[in-house]
């Protein structure tokens, strides 16, 4: 169903932009009074996975009063295992103006300056991550990007990534041995998984491929921050989250094409630099959401456990060869030493508090799912202009009459779904699963997994309630009205 969506760092960004221009560069895009638009490649279906990047996009428009805008192209690279590497190369080639990638990927592109950020269990608290972001280290790391032909605008903080497993909690090294664990294309991540005795497995980008791999048994576990876990994975398929093991943060780099920056005027460069600086400063707070997300994860079927002090020591001991190998690079060693010093002087946040009913074994019925055939049928509902106006999720409120009213017709059959709407001739489709009063829809074309609780009316009608977090546009389309059963 198509959703209708809608200080040190500052100095580093300014210096990067200044290096790209010899004067007041002239931008060729747009006529007088028209906004200049920069294109950004995003490897996901939306920016919900990267709130700091979304904040940067919003701030560019705000600080420029709409005179400079970023247009995001989602699904860049086709959701393959190398989408981040593709995005970096495409920015360098000028195929797109901007992108963002996890800093973990640069070690596959010949750049070692970011390795300390994902040294295993080094940055293990949001407070420490904030201290690192506030230092001059991120700016120094960005200088390492020059051989790639891209300009680094900022390093942004992200969620702390935890071990998440399907069959049993991962609290000690022995729990990892022999497991197949999803690995992004990153030497540091792959080496960490191997050091724990597990087998790294590369998958395509996003939740549907991960959910399919969990269902088929191709993978047993993965590592992820809680926000992405809730957005992309069905918790009953991998319910066990080790709450107090933080392998590394999901730090991100904002990248730009140098030639495109050269064509921006000084004002446009200043707006971009200001937005990047503000996003850098804001990103630690945007990342630190675990205390709120844990309740949602528990409600969705997750089960949180804690590693003991002995388990934590054993994990660090098993991972120490990975850190020692990273430290062979002099710059990386210097960064690791500085982060260790910051850790000694930084007080981390208290342990993650979980609801009383959340620890323990996951119910087997949740892990296996249930028969979907009782919900098989054809359903219909209509969204009106008033619905769109009151909800405020339409792309352009000035053109509501072009889209509304629109009627959706959805068919559920044998664990598969498809949908059509009168405002768009295309058909969307995917698979769905049922667990108790919960329905989870996998939507491969949009690289999404959406979860709802549901009730069935006397005549078979379906009422869906979103399991948050969820994009407001998806909430609007899928759950504003009851699905009336017509066949």
pLDDT one-digit tens code per residue, 293-342: 998 898 888 999 999 999 999 999 999 999 999 999 999 999 999 999 99
Confirm whether 383 is domain-assigned.
yes
Among candidate residues 362, 377, 398, the one where a domain is terminated? 362
Q: Is 129 in the same domain as 211?
A: no
Say what the pLDDT of residue 469 is.
67
Please tell me whether residues 282 and 329 are part of one structural domain: no
Q: 150 and 183: one domain?
A: no
pLDDT bucket at 396, cuts 50 / 70 / 90: very low
In terms of Cβ atoms closer than 10 Å to its own Cβ (0-12, 13-18, 19+), residue 140 is middle
Q: Is residue 3 part of a domain?
A: no
Contact 180, 199 (CB under 8 A): yes
Calpha distance 211→234 (Å, rounded)? 7
pLDDT at 5: 33
In this structure, of 96-105, 156-165, 328-337, 457-466, the range with the lowest mean pLDDT score is 457-466
Whether 304 and 197 share a structural domain: yes
Q: What is the dihedral of CA 471, 475, 477, 481, to 10 degrees?
A: -170
Cα–Cα distance for residue pair 272/63, rounded to 1 Å: 9
β partners of residue 440: 433, 451
63, pLDDT greater than 60? yes
Does 100 lie in the same domain as 89? yes
- The predicted pLDDT at position 372 comes to 77
User: Considering just the CA atoms, what is the radius of gyration of the chain in Å?
Assistant: 23
Question: Has residue 60 got a pLDDT over 90?
Answer: yes
Task: Tell me, yes or no, whether 126 lies in a domain.
Answer: yes
Question: In which domain, by residue range, is 203 found?
Answer: 160-248+290-362
Q: Residue 467: which of 300, 232, 302 has the closest Cα?
A: 300
- Mutual orientation of helices 330-345 and 126-134 as an angle, nearest 10°? 120
Q: Is the pLDDT score of 25 beyond 70?
A: no
Same domain as 393, residue 460: yes
For residue 325, the model assigns a pLDDT of 97
Q: What is the CATH number for 467? A: 2.40.128
Instruction: Write down the pLDDT at residue 463.
Output: 93
- Both 146 and 281 in one domain: the answer is yes
The pLDDT assigned to 392 comes to 64
pLDDT, residue 97, reads 98
Q: Out of 73-87, 246-260, 266-280, which region has the weakest mean confidence (pLDDT)?
A: 73-87
Q: Do the domain assignments include residue 1?
A: no
In whole angstroms, give the CA distance from residue 369 to residue 485.
Answer: 23
Q: Model's pTM, two decimal places? A: 0.74
Give the pLDDT confidence score for residue 403 in this predicted structure.
75
Residues 237 and 272 in one domain: no
pLDDT band at 18 (very low <50, low <70, confident <90, very high): very low
- Are both 128 and 20 inside the same structural domain? yes
Residue scoring higher pLDDT (204 or 288): 288
State the pLDDT at residue 222. Answer: 97
pLDDT at 300: 84
pLDDT score for 183: 93
CA distance 99 to 54: 12
CATH classification of the domain holding 309: 3.40.190.170
For the chain, the first-to-last Cα distance in angstroms comes to: 19
> What would the pLDDT profile of 69-106 be if each residue is shown by its tens digit?
999 999 898 888 899 999 999 999 999 999 999 999 99
Q: Each residue of 106-147: pLDDT tens digit?
A: 999 999 999 999 999 999 999 999 999 999 999 999 999 999
Query: pLDDT-based confidence at 376, cuts 50/70/90?
Result: very high
Q: Which two tokens stand for residue 90?
A: 């495409």
% of the chain surpassing 70 pLDDT: 87
Does position 453 have pLDDT exceeding 50, yes or no?
Answer: yes
Mean pLDDT of 14-25: 40
Write down the pLDDT at residue 326: 97
Domain boundary among 347, 362, 377: 362
Query: pLDDT grade, residue 379 (50/70/90)?
Result: very high
In this structure, are 230 and 273 located in the same domain? Answer: no
The predicted pLDDT at position 10 comes to: 39
More confident residue, 59 or 80: 59
List pLDDT tens digits, range 334-361: 999 999 999 999 998 998 988 877 876 5
Q: What is the pLDDT of residue 35?
A: 92
Residues 214 and 357 in one domain: yes
- Residue 150 shares a structural domain with residue 171: no
Residue 2, in any domain of the structure:
no
Cα separation of 130 and 153, whole Å? 18
Q: Is the pLDDT of residue 168 over 70?
A: yes
Report if residue 80 sits inside a domain. Answer: yes
> Using 50, 70 and 90 to split pLDDT, how confident is the model at 1?
low
Average pLDDT over residues 445-450: 72
Residue 424 has pLDDT above 80, yes or no: no
Judged against a pLDDT cut of 90, whether residue 233 lies above it is answered with no
Q: Which of 362, 379, 408 is the last residue of a domain?
A: 362
Number of domains forming the structure of the chain: 3
């Amino acid at each position: 169903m198509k959703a209708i969506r809608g200080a040190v760092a500052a100095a580093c960004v300014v210096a990067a932009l200044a290096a790209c221009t010899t004067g007041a560069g002239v931008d060729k895009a747009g006529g007088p009074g028209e906004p200049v638009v920069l294109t950004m490649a995003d490897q996901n279906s939306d920016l919900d996975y990267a709130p700091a990047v979304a904040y940067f996009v919003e701030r560019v428009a705000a600080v420029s009063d709409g005179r400079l805008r970023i247009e995001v192209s989602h699904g860049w690279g086709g959701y393959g295992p190398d989408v981040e590497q593709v995005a970096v190369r495409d920015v360098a080639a000028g195929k797109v103006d901007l992108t963002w990638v996890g800093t973990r990927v640069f070690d596959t592109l010949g750049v070692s300056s970011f390795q300390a950020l994902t040294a295993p269990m080094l940055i293990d608290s949001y407070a420490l991550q904030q201290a690192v972001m506030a230092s001059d280290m991120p700016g120094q790391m960005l200088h390492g990007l020059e051989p790639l032909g891209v300009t680094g605008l900022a390093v942004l903080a992200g969620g702390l990534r935890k071990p998440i497993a399907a069959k049993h909690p991962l609290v000690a090294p022995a729990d990892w041995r022999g497991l197949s664990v999803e690995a992004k294309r990153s030497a540091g991540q792959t080496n960490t998984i191997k050091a724990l005795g597990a087998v790294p497995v590369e998958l395509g980008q996003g939740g549907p491929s991960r959910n399919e791999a969990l269902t088929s048994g191709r993978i047993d576990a993965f590592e992820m921050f809680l926000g992405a876990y809730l957005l992309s994975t069905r918790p009953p398929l991998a319910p066990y989250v080790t709450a107090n093991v933080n392998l590394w943060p999901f730090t991100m780099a904002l990248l730009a094409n140098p030639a495109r920056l050269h064509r921006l005027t000084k004002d446009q460069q200043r707006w971009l630099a200001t937005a990047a600086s503000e996003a850098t400063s804001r990103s630690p707070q945007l990342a630190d959401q675990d205390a709120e997300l844990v309740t949602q994860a528990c409600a969705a079927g997750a089960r949180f456990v804690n590693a003991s002090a002995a388990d934590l020591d054993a994990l660090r001991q098993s991972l120490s060869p990975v850190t020692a190998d990273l430290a062979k690079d002099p710059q990386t060693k210097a960064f690791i030493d500085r982060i260790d010093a910051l850790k000694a002087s930084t007080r981390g946040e208290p342990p993650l508090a979980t609801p009383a009913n959340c620890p323990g074994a996951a119910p087997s019925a949740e892990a296996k799912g249930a028969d979907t055939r009782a919900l098989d049928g054809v359903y219909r509902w209509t969204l009106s202009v008033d619905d769109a106006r009151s909800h405020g999720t339409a792309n352009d409120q000035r053109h509501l009459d072009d889209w509304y009213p629109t009627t959706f017709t959805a068919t559920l059959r044998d664990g598969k779904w498809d949908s059509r709407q009168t405002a768009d001739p295309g058909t969307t489709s995917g698979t769905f699963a049922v667990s108790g009063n919960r329905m989870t829809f996998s939507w491969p074309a949009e690289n999404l997994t959406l979860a709802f609780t549901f009730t069935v009316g006397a005549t078979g009608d379906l009422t869906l309630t979103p399991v948050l977090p969820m994009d407001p546009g998806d909430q609007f389309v899928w759950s504003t009205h009851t699905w009336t059963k017509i066949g």
